[in-house]
Amino acid sequence: MATRENPGGVQWSRGEGSEGRRDCLEVYSRPTPKCAPIADFAPPCPDPYGIHAYAHPEDCGAFFLCTNGSLTFEYCENGLLFDGHGSVYNHCNYNWAVQCGDRKVDWTPISSPGCEYQFGMYPDSDSCSTTYSKCIHGESHQAHCDSGLVYNAKTHTCVWPDELIPYCNPEAIVGFKCPHKLPPHSPAAKFWPYPRFPVPGDCGRLITCVDGHPRLLTCGDGKLFDSVSLTCLDPDEVPHCRNVIKKEWNFVNVPEKSQAFPLASRTISEYQRSSKYLKLDSTRL
């Protein structure tokens, strides 16, 4: 409701918890009667129903939120910013994933054990690691990359270990050494220069070699890997896997711009479309 002190009727919201928040005087760096100047920037709510978030034109850590026609001014938690793309917590994304343009950014960290910022993703060690730490409200939680992947601190994603050579040893991570040569008429040779190999005791995954380095893939699409033909087939076409309990592999879909969460290992069909796999005949999947 509009008042003498708040003529725009815009509410100031601190969200859940006050750590890392700033009041209106600090946000605008000038004396103001409470939050009245917010109305100068606030867009009208376009719809009396639903939730809509809009970037603040000057502050990358602030945004306007319309909830069923009620407008509030929100501020992202420490380590998060807002651009309308991707959401880690309360419509805000990791600071490294947000394009702020000319909007100002407060890079001041509020640190706690294992967390530079209250929200963030950090490597567990300086060496090659299959785990990483995810900070939520200043508490560090260990997370795991999908099997066969390692954490890349620069991209904040899980990647194939050969992408981090010399820091990572792909053979140690995958547990497989790619052969330099293959018998010319062997099943694996048909897929050269990206030969395939089965994973013993695992009908859902396979190993392919790229530039001599092993990478772990899954068939996806509900298919299983046939160790004889080295192709992905429907379960009823792979008789030796009938008694194998199929594992369900969850894949995280990450917005291309934000990369908010680590990428999961690709399925064979996704990998076939990648730049290093374009020469593979798709009929042999």
Q: Which pLDDT score is estimated for 263? A: 40
Q: Please tell me the pTM assigned to this model.
A: 0.70
Under the banding of pLDDT at 50, 70 and 90, the label for residue 283 is very low
What are 140's two structure tokens? 């560090």
Q: What pLDDT, on the 0 to 100 scale, is given for residue 216?
A: 95
Q: Give per-residue pLDDT as tens, 6-51.
A: 333 344 443 343 343 344 433 333 333 334 345 566 778 888 899 9
Tens of pLDDT along 252-261? 332 233 233 3
Q: Report percent pLDDT > 90 for the chain.
A: 49
In the chain, CATH 2.170.140 sits at 187-249
φ, ψ (nearest 5 deg) of residue 77: -70, 165
- Give the least confident one: 67-71, 140-144, 267-271: 267-271
Highest mean pLDDT among 109-113, 125-129, 218-222, 263-267: 109-113
Q: Which two tokens stand for residue 218?
A: 């899954």
| pLDDT tens digits, 62-102 | 999 999 989 999 999 999 999 988 899 999 999 999 999 99
Taking domain 187-249, whether its CATH number is 1.10.3470 is answered by no
State both tokens at 144: 């795991």
Residues 189 and 176: their CA atoms lie apart, in Å, by 17
Question: What is residue 45's predicted lDDT score, i.e. its pLDDT?
Answer: 86
168 DSSP assignment: -
242 to 220, 221, 246: CA distances (angstroms): 17, 17, 9
Average pLDDT across the chain, whole number: 77
Residue labelled with tokens 């890997």: 225
* Under 8 Å between Cβ of 115 and 122: yes
